[in-house]
Amino acid sequence: MSVVARLWQALRNTVRTLWSTVSGRYAVTVIAVWVVVSLISLVWTPYSLWQMDGYNVWAMPSAAHWMGTDGTGADVASWLMAGSRTDLVIVLLTVALSAVIGMCLVALMTLGSTWSSNATVVAVDALISIPTVLLALVLAVPFGASIAVVVVACGIGYGLNLARVVRPQALLVANSGYVESALSNGASRWRVFAQHIVPNILPVASVQLSLSAGTAILAESGLTYLGIGVPSGIPSWGRSLSLSVRLASVHPLTALWPGLVVALVVLALNLCGDVLRERSGVHHAGVASRQAASEGGENDR
C-alpha cells in the first residue's frame, strides 16, 4: 500500500472511531466546518477584510453583518473566517513540528547508546519546566512577532511533552521480546523504530497531538494578545479576540464571538483526544509500564 493510501485509511478509521460517540461527532463536525470555512475564506468572505466603514463601527449583529463590525467598521465574521485559515496553518505546522521533535527524541531514547538515551531523558526533564510562553518571549526578542515564533515555541514545548508522554510505552516496546528477536534477525535499528516502536506509540501520540492542537490555538490567542504572536494585519482568531477585548467594556457583544469560536474549536480538539484515548485504551498503558517496571526489567521509574 502506498503511503497516501495508508494515511487515508488511518484517517477514515479515526473518523469512524470518533463518529461512534456523541462527543466524537461534535468534534468531527466542528473540525470539518473549520477546514471548510478556511478553504472558503481563501476565495470568498462576506466583506473584504480591508473594507472599513467609519459610520458603522461596533455595529450590533444584523443581517448585513452577522457578527457585527469592529472598531474600524470591518466585518467581524469576515475576519473570523479569514482567521480560521491562519489558525489552521498554525495548528498543522505546530503539530507536525512537535511530532517530528517528539519522534526524534524518542528515537534517541530508544535507539541510541545508553549514554545518549540517558542524556536525552535528562535533557527533556530539565527543559520541560520551561514554559512555552517563555520560549516564545526568548524567540520574539530577535525575531519579533511572527507566526514562526508561535509555531517554533509551541512545537518545541509540545514536542518535549510528547516525548515524555510516550516514553514509558516506547521503552516498554524497545525492551520487548519481539524487538529483541527482530534485532537478532538482523533488522536495522531504524527498521525496528519504524516498524515496531512507532506503531506502538501511535495511539498515545495521537491523543497527545490532538490535545496539543487545541493548546496551540489557545497559545496563539494568548501570544497574539501579548504582541509576540501573529503580527498585526494578518487575520487570526487571537487578533480578533484581542482587538475586541480592548474595548469590550463598551461593546461587549462583539467580544463574544471570537472567544466563542476559539472555545468551541479547542473543545472539539480536546474531545477528539478524549474519545481517542477512551477507544484505544491508552489509559491502560500506564498500568502496563508500571508492571514492567516492578518486574525489574525497566529503569524508567
CA nearest 82: which of 50, 60, 56? 50
Regarding 211 and contact with other proteins (CB under 8 A), the answer is yes
Q: Binder to other proteins among 20, 48, 62, 118 (CB under 8 A)?
A: 118
Regarding 46 and contact with other proteins (CB under 8 A), the answer is no
- The minimum distance between CB 111 and other proteins, in angstroms, equals 17
Cα–Cα distance between 159 and 96 in angstroms, integer? 9
Cα–Cα distance between 252 and 232 in angstroms, integer? 22
Region of 1-9, 60-68, 74-82, 125-133 interacting with other proteins (CB under 8 A): 125-133
Nearer to other proteins, 100 or 126 (CB): 126
Alpha-carbon torsion 258, 149, 125, 110, what sign?
Answer: positive
Cα–Cα distance between 93 and 151 in angstroms, integer? 6
Number of residues engaging other proteins in binding (CB under 8 A)? 75
Regarding 97 and contact with other proteins (CB under 8 A), the answer is no
Region of 41-49, 59-67, 186-194, 249-257 interacting with other proteins (CB under 8 A): 249-257
Task: Assign 69 to helix, strand or coil.
Answer: strand
Binding mask 225-244 for other proteins (x = CB under 8 A): xxxx------------xx--
The C-alpha cell 529503569 sits at 299
Nearer to other proteins, 142 or 186 (CB): 142
Residue 69 main-chain phi, psi, to 5 deg: -125, 160
Nearer to other proteins, 75 or 220 (CB): 220
Q: How many CB atoms lie within 10 A of CB 44?
A: 9
137 HSE (CA, 13 A, CB side): 7
C-alpha distances (whole Å) from 226 to each of 1, 129, 145 are 47, 21, 10
Question: 97 Cβ partners below 8 Å, 6+ apart?
Answer: 151, 152, 154, 155, 156, 159
Q: How many CB atoms lie within 10 A of CB 31?
A: 20
Regarding 251 and contact with other proteins (CB under 8 A), the answer is no
Nearer to other proteins, 56 or 270 (CB): 270
Regarding 299 and contact with other proteins (CB under 8 A), the answer is yes
Nearer to other proteins, 2 or 249 (CB): 249
Q: Binder to other proteins among 218, 231, 234, 279 (CB under 8 A)?
A: 218
The C-alpha cell 482568531 sits at 237
Region of 67-75, 81-89, 137-145, 186-194 interacting with other proteins (CB under 8 A): 137-145
Q: Binder to other proteins among 13, 60, 104, 131 (CB under 8 A)?
A: 131
Binding mask 160-199 for other proteins (x = CB under 8 A): -x--xxxxxx------------------------------
Region of 3-11, 12-20, 48-56, 211-219 interacting with other proteins (CB under 8 A): 211-219
